[in-house]
Structure 1
């Protein structure tokens, strides 16, 4: 019998670490804790070993195509494929409320474009019936936008990856050439780079689900809540173990028919197309 395999990106700390811990406790198979830094990754594995859990470690730098390719080769040779993928790796430079082009590009490369490369190189190894969870944010809801051109593009039923990339590139170009407009975003455009990246991740989830539907692969996006991590300046509301529960639900408990959705931390399915969101429930105020 083929052994099942799960992979969690950016999992040496915070939410990713909590997801790996939960999978080690409940997933019937091998769990890969991945990180870009070998020392930190092995330290994370040691912490889990100390409580009787046995994840495997593999280095994975999600912005490095060669690193992803090497990991894909490893998975293919050792396991032939895999069954669970959590795209969790992310970054945020808190002090750059209105970031420079370099900061904006770096954030988008980690939080969004890495998922495109992972799709290209790792998704072909997903087995039939696999589950993918893209970790998004309340900043990834469409109501974070005010630019009607962008909204109409993203709401299109035939949205493609190329069109989505066009939206991302439009934002980056505006930062680069000094035409960035705060009024194109909610909350005066604070950390627009994070909003653009996470909107990209959520929208990409729907595009990916359409592509892989015939292979019976479930791909969903999730906002796990305001977590107490180093990405939650000022303190989060819930700890990482609690936030991980909704991700673990999507992997281990949810119906396989649940596909192409945006799930909130309380397991409610959110209407991503509700760009108005008049009550301000879904867009992130003060980033969260």
Structure 2
């Protein structure tokens, strides 16, 4: 019988590290901790080994297509495919409250566009019945947007990846030209780049689910809570292990019928289309 395989991206610290730890304790199969930095990744493996936990390691830079391709080749040759994918790798440059074009592009390339590469290169290796969790954020709900034209596009039942890409590209073009309207976003447009990248990620989750429905693959987005990590700059409330519980629930315990949804940190399924909802992120100065 083929052994099951789980992969967690961006897992050398914080939430990803906690997810790997939880999977190693409960998942009946092989767990890969991946990191773009080999030294940090191996340090994380050593730390987990000291706890009696033994994941495997592989270098994976989600923003580098060659790195993703190399990892895909490795998975195919070693295991033939895999069963769980947690897209956790993400960045947030906390000091870029109103980002430069370069900072906005870095955020979107890492948090959103990398998922397009992963879908192209890694999704063909997902086995039927696989589970995918895209780690979103409070920034990733539609209530973060105020621009009605964008909202009309993103709430369409016929939403496509191209539509999402156009939304992202238009935002970046506005940043580049200095024409961003902060009134298009909640909370005065603070960290608009992160809102755009995470909204795009959540929207892509819904689009991907429709594509892979026939293969019985469950793809969900999750806001794991405000976590005490480097990204939160000390403002987080949850320990990474606590936040990982919601992700682990979707992987290990939730009904396979839960798919194409946006789960909040309390395990409630929030309405993606509730654009007037009180889900948007509030920047703490």
Q: For residues 264 and 117 of structure 1, what CA distance do their matches in structure 2 show?
A: 26
Residues 44/176 of structure 1: CA separation in 2 closer, same or farther (3 Å cut): same
- The DSSP-based 3-state class of the residue aligned with 2:231 is coil
Over 3 Å counting, the alpha-carbon distance change for 1:136 and 1:6 in structure 2 is same
Cα deviation, residue 276, structure 1: 1.0
CA RMSD, Structure 1 to Structure 2 (Å) = 0.9
Decide whether the 8 Å contact of 1:190 with 1:287 is kept in 2.
no
- SS for the counterpart of 2:283 is helix
Structure-1 residue corresponding to 2:282: 285
How do 1:243-282 and structure 2 match up within 5 A? 243-277=243-277, 280=278, 282=279
Whole-angstrom CA distance in 1 between matches of 2:110 and 2:63: 6
- TM-score, length basis structure 1: 0.98
Question: SS at the partner of 2:256?
Answer: coil
Give the aligned partner of residue 203 of structure 2: 203
Q: Once the 2 structures are TM-superposed, how far is the Cα of residue 218 of structure 1 from its aligned partner?
A: 0.2
Structure 1: unaligned runs, 5 residues or longer: none
Counterpart check, 1:57 vs 2:57: yes
Q: Is the 8 A contact 1:139 1:287 kept in 2?
A: no
Offset from partner CA, 1:96-133 (integer Å, 9 cap, x none) = 11111011000000000001100000000000000000
Match of 2:217 in 1: 217
Task: Tell me how far apart the structure 2 counterparts of residues 205 and 168 of structure 1 sit (CA, whole Å).
Answer: 15
Separation in 2, partners of 1:220, 1:182: 29
Deviation of 1:235 (Å): 2.3
Q: Which residue number in structure 2 is paired with residue 185 of structure 1?
A: 185
Q: Distance in 1 between matches of 2:31 and 2:245?
A: 16
What is the alpha-carbon distance in structure 1 between the residues aligned to residue 191 and residue 126 of structure 2?
33
TM-superposed CA distance for 1:85, in Å, is: 0.0
CA-CA distance at 1:287 after TM superposition: 6.5
After superposition, give the CA deviation of every residue in 1:30-89 in whole Å (9 maximum; x if it has no partner): 000000000000000001101111100000000000000000000000000000000000
Structure 1 ranges of 4+ moved more than 4 A: none
Aligned position for 1:230: 230
1:116-153 Cα offsets, whole Å, 9 max, x none, are: 10000000000000000000001100000000000000
Deviations 1:238-278, CA, capped at 9 Å, x for gaps: 1000000000000000011111000000000000100011x
Q: Report the Cα offset of residue 233 of structure 1.
A: 1.9
C-alpha distance 231-251 of structure 1, shift in aligned 2 (>3 A): same
For residue 22 of structure 1, what is the aligned residue in structure 2? 22
Aligned to 2:136: 136
Cα offsets for 1:149-206 (capped at 9, x unmatched): 0000000000000010000001000000111100000000000000000000100000
The question of whether the paired residues in 2 share the 8 Å contact of 1:191 and 1:287 is answered with no
Q: How many residues align?
A: 285
User: What 5-or-longer segments of structure 2 have no aligned partner?
Assistant: none
Structure 2 residue matching 1:285: 3-state secondary structure:
coil
